[in-house]
């Protein structure tokens, strides 16, 4: 069986992405949760025992190890084509990969100013101009995909691009970021997704606190 190594569900947006891709696609896997940034050196060694990169997430499939959220989703799409994590239409598939890569490598201002923290009381923060531009671009992506592909998810049915954008839905809620009408249907669909709800429940049930992420 596949083994997915993840960090704290409350904080680890990168872990959420492949976990959601697996769970929402009904792909069986074993979850290995290793708390991040603890004082116990054994936790860091456990992560290193799964991935030489020393980071989560990591997917172990027999003698194959894949790390990095987007790489894991690509591997899952190849191994489980029936899950249809990427659209079948070539143009739509290129679109899905492009926005997923944009999410993977971009939006740094929003990431830095609005870290993922499910425990955090819902309240706004003063966003920089760059972060506001990130918010506008993300909502434009959601609105465009809904208009072009009809929803409820970015490319119709749930897929890899949705897994990549899922943590942003949490950030919007946690930091009380207003959602435009054209982007609202996508947020509603994600929040209603059973796998999204499960991750949220389990993240809220965690008791670990990471001080560096509690300051915002």
Confidence of residue 214 (pLDDT cuts 50, 70, 90): confident
Number of domains into which the chain is organized: 2
Question: Which CATH number characterizes residue 96's domain?
Answer: 1.20.1050.10
Mean pLDDT of 16-44: 93
Give 109-144 pLDDT, tens digit per residue: 999 999 999 999 999 999 999 999 999 999 999 999
Confidence of residue 215 (pLDDT cuts 50, 70, 90): low
Q: Do 47 and 94 share a domain, yes or no?
A: no
Q: Do 73 and 122 share a domain, yes or no?
A: no
Q: Do 71 and 146 share a domain, yes or no?
A: no
Q: How much is the pTM?
A: 0.95
Burial 64-90 (b: 16+ CB within 10 A, else e): eebbbbbebbbbbbeebeebbbbbeee
Domain enclosing residue 185, as ranges:
90-200
Confidence of residue 40 (pLDDT cuts 50, 70, 90): confident
- In a domain? residue 167: yes
Last residue of a domain, one of 38, 67, 83: 83
**Cα(115)–Cα(123) distance, rounded to whole angstroms?**
13
């Amino acid at each position: 069986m596949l083994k997915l190594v993840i960090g704290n569900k409350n904080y680890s947006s990168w872990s959420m992405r492949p976990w959601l891709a697996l769970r929402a696609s009904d792909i069986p896997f074993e979850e290995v949760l290793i708390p991040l940034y603890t004082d116990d050196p054994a936790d860091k060694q456990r992560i290193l025992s799964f991935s030489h990169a020393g980071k989560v997430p990591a997917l172990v499939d027999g003698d194959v190890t894949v790390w990095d959220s987007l790489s894991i989703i690509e591997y899952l799409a190849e191994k489980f084509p029936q899950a249809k994590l990427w659209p079948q239409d070539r143009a739509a598939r290129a679109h899905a990969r492009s926005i997923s890569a944009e999410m993977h490598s971009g939006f740094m201002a929003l990431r830095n100013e609005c870290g993922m923290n499910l425990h955090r009381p819902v309240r706004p923060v003063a966003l920089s101009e760059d972060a506001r531009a990130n918010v506008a671009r993300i909502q434009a992506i959601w609105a465009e995909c809904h208009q072009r592909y009809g929803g409820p998810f970015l490319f119709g049915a749930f897929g890899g691009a949705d897994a990549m954008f899922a943590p942003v839905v949490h950030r919007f809620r946690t930091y009380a970021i207003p959602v435009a009408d054209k982007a609202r249907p996508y947020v509603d669909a994600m929040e209603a997704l059973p796998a999204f709800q499960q991750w949220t429940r389990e993240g809220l049930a965690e008791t670990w606190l990471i001080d560096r992420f509690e300051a915002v």
